[in-house]
Amino acid sequence: MGLIFRQSLKSSVGYYIGVLLGALNTLFISTKFLEPDQLAISRILLENGLIFAAFSHLGTPYISDKFFSRFKSDENKHNGFLIFITIFPLLGISILLCFYYFFQTEIGNIFSDKSPVIIPYIKYTIPISIIWVYISVFESYSRCNGRAAVPTFLREVIMRVLNILLILLLGFGFLDFQLFIILYVITMAFIPFALIIYIVILKKWYWSWNKEVWNWSILREMAIFGGVLILGGIGSNLVLFLDRNIIAAKIGPTEVAIFTVASYIAAIIEIPSKSIRQISSPIISDVIFRNDREKLISLYRKSALNLFLIGGITYLLIAVNLEQLFSVLPKSEIYEKGIMVVLIVGLAKWIDMSLGLNIEIIAFSKYYKLNTLLVILMAFMAFYLNILFIPYLGINGSALATASITLISSAIRLIFVYAKFKIYPFSKKDLPAFFVIMVTGMVGILFPSFGGNYIAIFLSIGIKSIFLLVIFLSLVIKFNISEDINVLFKKISDQIFKASK
């Protein structure tokens, strides 16, 4: 876990810079300079692009994580692996183009009743999908070559900076919304080209085919593996983003904007999980391939403990400051309707990440098809639960649907991993970790808030958050709950001590 913790920490820097930029953008810039309808359109285009990209890449990023070790050889220029993962998605992209050509009218009809403003912009979903395909492909290739930080920085930071600049240009009247969307797509296309340049700089752009290591057997195995997992990828993105489309179809674009802002706040909780999962994927694949049971147990339990602690304090900091945070948002009278969405979805995400790397363990074992079946089930549940809850509970109903799906799928994976591998993510450190979270939470509830103007409110949020962080870290370190956190704290303390001499 130490290696994963260190690497994920570096990658998390990019994530958290991206989170800060994303928070600035989603909570303040977008809500200030975009009308709710415009915010809804831009998010639906992006998220539907991700849904279509999940099919169009034909599982290539997963193939890269799974099979790269078989082709890895700098001497032989990775035996043409880069050529394969670059060309293979073109088949899926061709299918996507045909699908859109024949069904564009039907897609538009979904929004014709409650959200007709979305229809003229649906066509931009296609280039966004293609761009995301190659962001995913080249990022996975970089990750397999041991380089995750720069691709993360490009995706999480540079893309957001460019988006913020465009929103400001729109807000100050230099662009109309149509041109904004066009430039939004163009700036997004910068990222895969930047990844290509980065791979070239690393001297890993191996455009050479070694036909001796390629045969129909390995191609068939890769295609089947990718084919199974694209169903899971589509299902995952449907679970994540289908709710926005149903909200748009059943209620309207303003509620999509509210749900988008609230969901973004809740998603902050799982940032450490995303980072650790990305770094862990090739390592878990190798551990399972070598049948190293002891290391697998160690990775499983330490990751669960660290994510429980980090996710827990993040959820608490958000929850105790939530009302004040919404009060300073532009158009707060609109967006404060999303408070319950944050609490419901955020709690489910925290519980999910606290159960460890079940998805990855299943994905890189012989039982990998279960993830696909489960995600397909989740997608159907997402559709029906949203259809069921939204008419009665509005966006809170969508939040309840998301939370239910998350917890049910987490429980099934947890039980399956225990049944097949006889391992579980819990350890004797969990009880004191829970105690620390509860104590910190009680202090946060009792800690007074103050405000009146923006500066006072931000000071209140900052003081409360710092105070709770000090209590949390003091307890975690004193009781030696997480070995990784203690080692990191000691390393930082030693560096500060040396610098002060």
Closest CA to 18 of 153, 193, 168: 153
pLDDT digits over 88-130, tens only? 899 999 999 999 989 888 888 888 888 899 999 999 999 999 9
Provide the token pair at 8.
């994920």
Distance of CA 118 to the CA centre of its chain: 25
- Map tokens 């147990």 to a residue: 297
Mean pLDDT of the chain, nearest integer: 87
pLDDT digits over 301-350, tens only? 888 998 999 999 999 999 999 999 899 899 989 999 999 999 999 999 99
Q: Is the pLDDT of residue 1 over 50?
A: no
CB neighbour list of residue 237: distance below 8 Å, 6 or more residues apart? 47, 50, 51, 53, 54
**Sign, CA torsion 361/364/369/374:** positive
- For residues 71 and 67, what is the distance between their CA atoms, to the nearest angstrom? 7
Rg (CA), the chain: 23
pLDDT for the residue 364: 83
- Map tokens 């399972």 to a residue: 288
Q: Is the pLDDT of residue 228 over 90?
A: no
The vertex-294 CA angle with 143 and 142, nearest 5°, equals: 5
Q: If you write DSSP's letter for every residue of 369-438 in order, what string do you get? A: HHHHHHHHHHHHHHHHHHHHHHHHHTHHHHHHHHHHHHHHHHHHHHHHHHHHH---S--TTHHHHHHHHH
Q: How confident is the model at residue 408 (pLDDT cuts 50, 70, 90)?
A: very high
Provide the token pair at 376.
């397909």
Q: Residue length, the chain?
A: 501
Percent of the chain scored above 90 by pLDDT? 43
φ/ψ region of 77 (left if φ > 0, alpha if ψ in -120 to 50, else beta) reads left
- For residues 342 and 337, what is the distance between their CA atoms, to the nearest angstrom? 10
Q: pTM for this one?
A: 0.82
- For residues 440 and 429, what is the distance between their CA atoms, to the nearest angstrom? 17
Which amino acid is residue 175, in one-letter code? L
- For residues 42 and 177, what is the distance between their CA atoms, to the nearest angstrom? 10
pLDDT digits over 128-178, tens only? 999 999 999 999 888 888 777 788 889 889 999 999 999 999 999 999 999
Q: How confident is the model at residue 454 (pLDDT cuts 50, 70, 90)?
A: confident
Q: How far is CA 351 from CA 310, 322, 348, in A?
A: 12, 19, 5
- For residues 455 and 462, what is the distance between their CA atoms, to the nearest angstrom? 10
pLDDT for the residue 262: 94
- For residues 38 and 308, what is the distance between their CA atoms, to the nearest angstrom? 36
Provide the token pair at 394.
């509005």
Q: If you average pLDDT over each of 2-11, 210-219, 354-363, which comes out highest?
A: 354-363
